[in-house]
């Protein structure tokens, strides 16, 4: 197109295409607008064309629409359409992001490596001013989430193209590991890379560290856990708990060219002492290291220069409640038990009726040692489990209450 499209032209095309998709496939997931980068978030194609045609920084299309940024304006239109027509035409708000300071090439000079290490801050840090021509605080994922919350709530967000370059170098790998960790920590719903790196390349193996580090499709946890570091330009860390099995996974990325001593302090997690360790270094091989140890609630380790290290911390088995007893009075069942743990989240009460399977009937809070409920006449069995996060202990003893 010789002249860029206006905000209205772009909205009408998106509306019409999305409506056609929805009419043919009601359960389709519709993504958009897939804008290319910073100027595309803020200005229509017309305004970008107008500026590039030598007209300075005037933005006539934006001015004609109340001087509103283009991307949130689009979200408003989708919301207005749903309000008026009862049909959602956008499920995932998606943008592309490529760093603009040369990071996407294969330059691995010391200066560029340091710049890659810093520039991922544009994905999240409200205090970081992008060092390229953008020269602004991008904070991409919080910005997207803020736009959606304000202009079209309940819409997911995705970064559907990104690339930080250096696919054949460990600096590209540590940067990719940093990006994946940021995506998870910041609550991005969908993140995809442009393009798939060559199989076996350092960046490919960095992705494997999250998805298939052991060749058995073992991966990072799926429930984000808070992890903090003192200098994310040098060492970044991300943590998540697996909903299956309850293991805590911690990805630590040493971005710099020297080894770093690190102490990983575990809080509010009862850990077994032995910790699995998997690592990717400049040798470009994912290898299992000797187990680390949890001592006094912490893991002390040395991180090799420019490395990605995954720690897999298994939870201690929860102790089951003991000495469960019960009594029936009229149509009320009373239960009492002993709490033999000191860090549980609560207890799960399970019941079987007339010889059927045990099912959960209630949960009570930490340090609670009794429960009561009204029940119909019948033969009941009760048992109780200790709960912490996604973990449940084995059941307590079983008691029977009749009548």
**pLDDT at position 223 over 90:** yes
- pLDDT score recorded for residue 244: 84
- pLDDT score recorded for residue 14: 98
How far is 91 from 278, CA to CA, in rounded Å? 37
Mean pLDDT of 287-304: 96
- pLDDT score recorded for residue 217: 95
DSSP string, 130-173: PSSTT-S---HHHHHHHHHHHHSTT-EEEEEEE----TTSHHHH
**pLDDT at position 207 over 80:** yes
How far is 58 from 22, CA to CA, in rounded Å? 37
Domains by residue range for the chain, with CATH: 7-219 (3.20.20.80), 235-315 (2.60.40.1180), 322-401 (2.60.40.10)
What whole-number percentage of the chain has pLDDT above 90? 87
Tell me whether strands 370-374 and 332-338 are parallel, antiparallel or unpaired: antiparallel
**pLDDT at position 320 over 80:** yes
Predicted confidence band at 388 (pLDDT cuts at 50, 70, 90)? confident
Predicted confidence band at 262 (pLDDT cuts at 50, 70, 90)? very high
Mean pLDDT of 371-389: 89
- pLDDT score recorded for residue 356: 87
Q: Single out the residue of 102, 74, 57 nearest to residue 9, CA to CA.
A: 74
Tell me the whole-structure pTM to 2 decimals.
Answer: 0.84
Q: What is the per-residue pLDDT across 72-111, written as a single tens digit (0 to 9) for each? A: 999 999 999 999 999 999 999 999 999 999 999 999 999 9
- pLDDT score recorded for residue 403: 64
**pLDDT at position 390 over 80:** no
How far is 269 from 277, CA to CA, in rounded Å? 18
């Amino acid at each position: 197109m010789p002249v860029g499209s206006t905000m209205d032209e772009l909205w009408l095309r998106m509306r019409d295409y999305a409506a056609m998709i929805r009419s043919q496939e009601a359960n389709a997931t519709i993504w958009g607008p897939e804008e290319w980068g910073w100027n595309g978030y803020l200005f229509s194609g017309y305004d970008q064309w107008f500026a590039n045609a030598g007209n300075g920084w005037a933005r006539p299309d934006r001015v004609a629409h109340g001087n509103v940024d283009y991307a949130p304006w689009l979200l408003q239109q989708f919301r207005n359409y749903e309000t008026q027509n009862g049909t959602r035409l956008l499920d995932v708000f998606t943008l592309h992001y490529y760093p603009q300071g040369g990071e996407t090439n294969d330059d691995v000079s010391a200066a560029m490596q340091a710049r890659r290490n810093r520039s991922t801050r544009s994905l999240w840090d409200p205090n970081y001013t992008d060092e390229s021509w953008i020269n602004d605080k991008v904070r991409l994922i919080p910005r997207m989430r803020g736009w959606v919350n304000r202009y079209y709530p309940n819409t997911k967000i995705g970064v559907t193209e990104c690339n930080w370059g250096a696919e054949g170098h460990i600096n590209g790998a540590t940067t990719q590991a940093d990006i994946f960790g940021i995506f998870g920590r910041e609550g991005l719903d969908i993140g995809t890379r442009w393009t798939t790196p060559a199989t076996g390349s350092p960046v490919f193996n960095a992705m494997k560290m999250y998805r298939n580090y052991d060749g058995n499709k073992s991966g990072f946890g799926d429930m984000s856990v808070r992890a903090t570091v003192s200098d994310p330009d040098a060492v970044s860390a991300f943590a998540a708990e697996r909903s299956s099995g309850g293991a805590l996974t911690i990805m630590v990325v040493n971005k710099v060219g020297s080894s770093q001593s690190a102490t990983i302090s575990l809080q509010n997690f009862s850990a077994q002492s032995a910790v699995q360790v998997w690592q990717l270094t400049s040798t470009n091989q994912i290898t299992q290291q000797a187990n680390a140890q949890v001592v006094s609630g912490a893991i002390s380790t040395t991180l090799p220069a420019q490395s990605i290290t995954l720690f897999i911390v298994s939870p201690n088995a929860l102790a089951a409640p003991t000495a469960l007893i019960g009594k029936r009075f009229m149509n009320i069942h009373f239960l009492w038990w002993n709490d033999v743990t000191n860090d549980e989240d609560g207890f799960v009460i399970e019941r079987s009726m007339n010889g059927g399977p045990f099912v959960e009937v209630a949960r009570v809070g930490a340090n609670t040692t009794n429960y009561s409920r009204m029940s119909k006449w019948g033969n009941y069995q009760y048992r109780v489990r200790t709960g912490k996060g996604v973990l449940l202990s084995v059941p307590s003893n079983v008691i029977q209450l009749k009548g």
